[in-house]
Amino acid sequence: MATDRTESKIPMYVLTQEQINQIAAVAGEEAVKRFRAEQVKSDKKRAREENKVKKTKKMLSSYRRIKATLSDEAEFTEEEQIELRWKFIQDLMGSVRETVSRSERTIKDEEKRRQEDLYCIYRIEKATEMYREECEKSGSEEAKRRYRELSMMYLEEKQYSVQEISEVENVSDKTVYKDLGIACGIVAVYLLGI
């Protein structure tokens, strides 16, 4: 039995102070490298999140403008198409065939832009509707206030200033800015994903 104990012992090594210092230096350098890598990773993640909020605010800011430029119809009416064609045919700088193909291309480009705008409006309305439902289900008055502030700032027909919103909601301007940032961060998840 005594031999079993000696066989299972872990051999011990004697290290000099210089070797210990070298090991500590290598370990310290490696720890610093890993810390910096984690720091860069977290900075990139934070930047992505900030970009999502900025992009959401930009999309919400353009909501009224886009909606105002769109009619309720999804496509050009036949009269609008004829009018656009004639506009280009009147300028007969090239051959008639080139002019007609240019006008057709312009009509298709306009229709594509219109479809993209309609889709953008749909996405914004869907995301803000989901946020409204989330706020109502939470039962929190603060969450409901944030939705109302978001709606006044970006969605309602009349655009309110931060000062007007703070007066309506009876909070400070600073609180409105903070609430809008939080609300846009949540809407960004619905609008742009995680």
Residue 126 carries which side chain, given as an amino acid letter? K
* DSSP states of 71-140: -S-SS--HHHHHHHHHHHHTS-SS-HHHHHHHHHHHHHHHHHHHHHHHHHHHHHHHHHHHHHHHHHHH--
Tokens 């009269």 identify what position?
Answer: 79
Q: Are 55 and 185 in contact (CB under 8 A)?
A: no
Q: What was the pLDDT predicted at 23?
A: 86
Which pair of structure tokens corresponds to residue 94?
Answer: 């090239």
Per-residue pLDDT tens digits for 140-177:
899 999 999 999 998 888 889 999 999 999 999 999 99
Residue 57 carries which side chain, given as an amino acid letter? K
Q: What was the pLDDT predicted at 88?
A: 54
Q: What was the pLDDT predicted at 98?
A: 58
Closest to 117 in 3D by CA, of 62, 159, 154, 169: 62
For 34, residues 6+ apart whose C-beta sits below 8 A from its C-beta are none
Q: Name the DSSP letter for residue 11.
A: P
Q: Are 68 and 129 in contact (CB under 8 A)?
A: no
The burial class, CB within 10 Å (0-12 / 13-18 / 19+), for 14 is: exposed
Which pair of structure tokens corresponds to residue 139?
Answer: 């039962």
Q: Are 149 and 180 in contact (CB under 8 A)?
A: yes
Write out residues in the chain with pLDDT < 50, as ranges. Answer: 1, 92
The reported pTM is 0.56
Tokens 């999309």 identify what position?
Answer: 59
Which pair of structure tokens corresponds to residue 122?
Answer: 């749909």
Q: What was the pLDDT predicted at 81?
A: 66
Q: What was the pLDDT predicted at 174?
A: 93
Which pair of structure tokens corresponds to residue 33?
Answer: 């490298």
Residue 177 backbone zone (phi > 0: left; psi -120 to 50: alpha; other: beta): alpha
